[in-house]
Each structure stands twice: as structure tokens, then as C-alpha cells.
């Protein structure tokens, strides 16, 4: 009897989730030292298979470049490990002796990990590591076009974790993913948190699941080349970044805004580095390939080489072409070059002034990249600071490759394959998501202040001026007693004053 594919997928998900829940309950008892050893062993195992997994990902998804996938796997494994290895995630993680507050880490429970087709193996390794570091279980839903390579990465992680002592089932997955199973996974009562990396519809589903969720928005990243920049160096970086893994990282530059007085120099340097500048007719041909429908990206160009995309558009380009560039003046859903393209295609805008450059960048972000990232090439620190203050982005990379700089490969940002967009992009965090986002922090606070709790007054409507009058009356009474008594014991006067003060405080 042939079972329905959706039903098989849902049942597999439920089985994996039950196993992960049981394993996570056992994992709760592990010490920091045990957890750290498991995480170390998993990172090392994934790093050792980095190239093999890169080849597998390119072969299955038919996207990207093997050497670049390997770099992303390295970031997702060892770079992530190095960034989290010394974090305390078990038991008491911090004590504030001065204020008498103790912080205790507690895991969320079981996490739903959603994996994209663009960065499947690196994202799977990364999410497995940060979940293990925080004593969470995790069940993955791979992208249907990247199932085999994703599971291969997860099998390596689970095997290493078990060999280091982790309970079986702490990492689980759906081998026959369907939207029905993924949706039920996110809504299941045993899921405590969702880590969603993927298309906007899937991220929206994660946020509407009723569960806490970390999702990421689109990255329509502008790169502004300001007149003070080292143009030769900037163009080399932009081409390298834009062609990295054929543009599959969401933080990759999508449109370049350049000051007019350095535009011709910039174009010459782009060409030196393998950029092909389209003429008007070629631009029209490519527009139809980028976006057959207004605002909709053609998925067949995602992660493909410039040569293949040019061939799809019927354009002849040199064999050493790395990116395709077209000059543009407009921004909008009906302007294919202005949307996020996830491929080695770059729009080129020319700004007549610094203020116009900012306006173009903001328009591009508002079209579909708010909260994500912006890239800047400048030697003017004032310009960099002003952009940081004014642009609605969560990360701004200066004088580096935006694609891998955003994930922490060429910058001091936290290594991560899930980049939050903050409230600008409808996300709960603007951070590069890491282990610290997967723990609850309980706080134990000791009393360290003495306070006097006012007793209910006889005159609740009494005003401040009334209180002052009452105090004055009490003082007059004390003075009368002193005058009547003549020589009065100082202790008696002190006691009378204290009585006045107490009554004043109660008022």
C-alpha cells in the first residue's frame, strides 16, 4: 500500500520530534564541560568534511561554487565554534556580587531548524552547533532541493555528538520534507523555538506559527562607493563579493551607488576585475530573465554563473566574465535590476551628490532590504558614521566584502548564517544570531535595599500643602512643650524631633 507523501513526511517529523524531546530531557543533565566537548567534536567533524559537503551541495542544488561553499562550511563550523566555545550556557553563568543578582541559563527545549537551498550544509552545521551548545534538541526541515546534502551534514554532526556522549536523537530531521510537514513542525506543541532561514513566505509562516521565532528578511543590499574611497581596491572587493558563490549570500551587494566624479574610474576598474557592462539592448534582454513578472525573481538564475545567465538571456559575453552590470536610474518592483537578485548581477546607480546617494540607498532598502545590511567604501570617517546613524540596517560593512563580511568572515561581527534584521525588517533581533539567542536566562535576586512601606493614611485625599501644614502644627506643639518645660533633657528633644520626622515621612 502506497502512503500519501505528505502523511509520510508528517509522521517522520513527529517521530523525530518525539525522539528529540526525549533526548533533550536527558541532555539537560549534562555539565558545561560535557556540552563543550560535544560541541568541539561536532565542529571538528564538520570542518574535516567541509570540502566533501561543499561538492555535495553544488552537485545537488546546482547552485554556487564548490570552493566558496567550502568557505561557508568553514565559517559555519570552526569559525562559529571559536566564537561560542568560551560562552557559559549551563547552570550559573553570571554573578553580580555588588547587586546580589545571579543569572542561570536554561535551554528553550526543542528547536525547529528551517534550512534554505542557497546555503544548506553551512546553515545546518551552524544551527546544530548553537543548539548543542545551549542544551537544546533540534529537528530540521531541509529545503526539498537540498535534502541529501543537508542530511549528509546533519549525519556527520549527530555521529560526532553521539560519539562524544550526546543522547541519540538530539539532532533530528525530515528526510522527505513537505510544506505540510514543515508547517506542522513549526506549530507542534513540542517545539519551543523556530530558527527560520529561507524565503519570505516561509519566514512569515514561522512568525505566524504562534511560537517564538528567529527569522530573517530579504537583503537588497546597496553598496555606496563614496568619492574618497580607494576605487581600485573597492571595485576588486565588490566583484569578488558579488561573484562569491554566485551571489547566494543574502548580504551580497545588489546595487552599487557611485559618486559621479569617480564613476568612470569605477567602471574601468570593474571591467579590469571581470565585470561585463551591458548596453541598453542587452539590459532589456536580461531584465526579462531576472524578473518575468514585476517584483518576482526568476528562481532559475539564483546561484548561477554570469556566463550561464548571459546565455539564458541570449547575450554573448567574454569567457572570463564574473558579474553582469547595467546602469540604472529607477528603483521599484517593476525595475528588475533594483530588486534582490541572488546572482552575480549588479545594478549601477550614479549619484550627483552625497545626499542623492543616501536617497538612492534608502530607496533600495525600502524596496526590500530594510534592516538587513549596507556596504560602504569610503576613507571619510564622518561619512561612515553618518550612514551608521541614519540607515535602517542592522549591519554596515565598511571597506570589505559585504557578502562574507556580514557573516563574520572578514569582520569582527559574530560568525553566523542567520542575520537578523531587527524591527526595521520585522524581526525580533538585529543581531547575527548565535548561541546566546537560544537560552533563557533566569535571575535570582537577593534583597539589598531597605524601604519603609507607607501605611494607609486617614486622609487619602490630603495634598502636599496639607502635609506641610500638619508638620508645622506638630513642630509648634513640640516648641510649646519645650518652652513649658524650661530646662529640657537633650535626649527628650531628640526623641521629639524623631517623632516629628516619622510623622512627616508617613505623610
Q: How many CA atoms lie within 13 A of 439 on its CB side?
A: 23
Which helix (H) or strand (E) segment holds residue 30: the answer is: none
8 A C-beta contact, residue 46 and residue 156: yes
**Candidate list 157, 250, 361, 421, residue with the active-site label:** 250
Query: How far, in whole angstroms, is CA 10 from its chain's centroid?
Result: 28
Q: Mean pLDDT, to the nearest integer, of 391-397?
A: 97
CATH of domain 221-413: 3.40.309.10
Mark whether 250 is an active-site residue.
yes
Average pLDDT along the chain = 92
Q: Which residues contact 381 (CB under 8 A, 6 or more apart)?
A: none
Measure the CA–CA gap between 310 and 316, rounded to whole angstroms: 7
Pairing of strands 193-196, 213-215: parallel
At residue 110, does pLDDT exceed 80?
yes
> What is the value of pTM for the model shown?
0.87
Q: Which of 358, 400, 393 is nearest to 378 (CA)?
A: 400
pLDDT in tens, 215-253: 887 889 999 999 999 999 999 999 999 999 999 999 999
8 A C-beta contact, residue 215 and residue 141: no
Q: Mean pLDDT, to the nearest integer, of 414-420?
A: 95
Measure the CA–CA gap between 317 and 321, rounded to whole angstroms: 7
- Please state the φ and ψ torsions of residue 259, each to the nearest 5 degrees: -65, 140
Pairing of strands 101-107, 393-398: unpaired
CATH of domain 5-216+435-444: 3.40.605.10
Three-state SS for 154? helix
Question: In the numeric block, which cell numbers belong to residue 373?
Answer: 545590511
Q: Which residues contact 114 (CB under 8 A, 6 or more apart)?
A: 140, 141, 182, 186, 194, 195, 196, 197, 198, 202, 206
pLDDT in tens, 13-71: 999 999 999 999 999 999 999 999 999 999 999 999 999 999 999 999 999 999 999 99
Q: How many CB atoms lie within 10 A of CB 282?
A: 19
8 A C-beta contact, residue 143 and residue 97: no
- pLDDT for 1 equals 42
Question: In the numeric block, which cell numbers belong to residue 306?
Answer: 554570469
Question: In the numeric block, which cell numbers belong to residue 346?
Answer: 549588479
8 A C-beta contact, residue 5 and residue 176: yes
Q: How far is CA 416 from CA 126, 399, 423, in A?
A: 7, 20, 19
**Bridge partners (DSSP) listed for residue 276:** 324
Measure the CA–CA gap between 428 and 438, rounded to whole angstroms: 13
Three-state SS for 362? helix
pLDDT in tens, 439-494: 999 999 999 999 999 988 765 555 555 555 565 666 566 666 655 555 656 666 66
Amino acid at each position: 500500500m502506497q502512503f500519501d507523501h505528505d502523511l509520510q513526511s508528517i509522521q517522520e517529523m513527529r517521530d523525530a520530534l518525539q525522539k528529540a524531546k526525549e533526548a533533550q530531557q536527558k541532555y539537560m543533565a549534562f555539565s558545561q564541560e560535557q556540552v563543550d566537548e560535544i560541541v568541539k567534536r561536532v565542529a571538528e567533524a564538520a570542518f574535516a568534511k567541509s570540502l566533501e559537503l561543499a561538492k555535495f551541495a553544488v552537485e545537488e542544488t546546482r547552485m554556487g561554487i564548490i570552493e566558496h561553499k567550502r568557505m561557508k562550511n568553514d565559517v559555519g563550523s570552526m569559525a562559529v565554534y571559536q566564537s561560542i566555545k568560551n560562552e557559559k550556557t549551563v547552570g550559573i553563568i553570571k554573578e553580580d556580587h555588588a547587586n546580589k543578582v545571579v543569572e542561570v541559563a536554561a535551554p528553550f527545549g526543542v528547536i525547529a531548524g528551517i534550512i534554505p537551498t542557497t546555503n544548506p550544509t553551512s546553515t545546518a552545521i551552524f544551527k546544530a552547533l548553537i543548539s548543542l551548545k545551549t542544551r537544546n534538541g533540534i529537528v530540521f526541515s531541509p529545503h526539498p532541493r537540498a535534502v541529501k546534502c543537508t542530511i549528509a551534514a546533519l549525519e556527520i554532526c549527530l555521529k560526532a555528538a553521539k560519539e562524544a556522549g550526546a543522547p541519540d536523537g538530539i539532532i533530528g530531521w525530515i528526510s522527505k520534507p513537505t510544506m505540510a510537514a514543515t508547517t506542522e513542525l513549526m506549530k507542534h506543541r513540542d517545539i519551543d523555538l523556530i530558527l527560520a532561514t529561507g524565503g519570505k513566505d516561509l519566514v512569515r509562516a514561522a512568525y505566524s506559527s504562534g511560537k517564538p521565532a528567529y527569522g530573517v528578511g530579504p537583503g537588497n543590499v546597496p553598496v555606496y562607493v563614496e568619492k574618497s574611497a580607494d576605487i581600485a581596491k573597492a571595485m576588486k572587493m565588490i566583484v569578488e563579493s558579488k561573484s562569491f558563490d554566485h551571489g547566494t549570500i543574502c548580504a551580497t551587494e545588489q546595487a552599487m551607488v557611485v559618486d559621479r566624479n569617480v564613476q568612470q574610474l569605477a567602471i574601468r576598474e570593474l571591467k579590469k576585475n571581470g565585470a561585463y557592462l551591458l548596453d541598453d539592448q542587452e539590459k532589456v534582454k536580461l531584465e526579462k530573465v531576472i524578473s518575468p513578472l514585476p517584483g518576482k525573481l526568476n528562481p532559475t538564475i539564483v546561484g548561477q554563473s554570469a556566463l550561464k545567465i548571459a546565455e539564458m538571456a541570449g547575450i554573448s559575453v567574454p569567457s572570463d566574465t564574473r558579474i553582469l552590470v547595467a546602469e540604472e536610474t529607477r528603483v521599484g518592483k517593476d525595475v528588475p535590476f533594483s530588486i534582490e537578485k541572488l546572482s552575480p548581477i549588479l545594478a549601477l546607480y550614479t549619484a550627483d551628490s552625497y545626499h542623492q546617494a543616501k536617497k538612492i540607498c534608502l530607496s533600495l532598502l525600502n524596496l526590500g532590504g530594510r534592516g538587513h545590511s549596507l556596504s560602504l567604501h569610503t576613507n571619510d570617517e564622518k561619512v561612515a558614521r553618518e550612514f551608521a546613524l541614519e540607515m535602517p540596517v542592522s549591519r554596515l560593512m565598511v571597506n570589505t566584502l559585504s557578502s562574507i563580511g556580514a557573516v563574520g568572515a572578514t569582520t569582527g561581527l559574530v560568525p553566523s548564517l542567520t542575520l537578523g534584521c531587527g524591527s526595521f525588517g520585522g524581526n525580533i533581533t538585529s543581531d547575527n544570531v548565535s548561541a546566546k539567542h537560544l537560552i533563557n536566562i533566569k535571575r535570582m535576586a537577593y534583597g539589598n535595599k531597605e524601604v519603609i512601606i507607607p501605611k494607609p493614611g486617614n486622609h487619602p485625599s490630603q495634598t502636599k500643602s496639607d502635609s506641610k501644614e500638619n508638620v508645622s502644627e506638630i513642630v509648634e506643639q513640640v516648641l510649646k512643650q519645650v518652652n513649658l518645660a524650661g530646662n529640657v533633657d537633650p535626649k527628650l528633644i531628640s526623641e521629639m524631633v524623631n517623632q516629628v520626622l516619622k510623622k512627616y515621612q508617613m505623610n
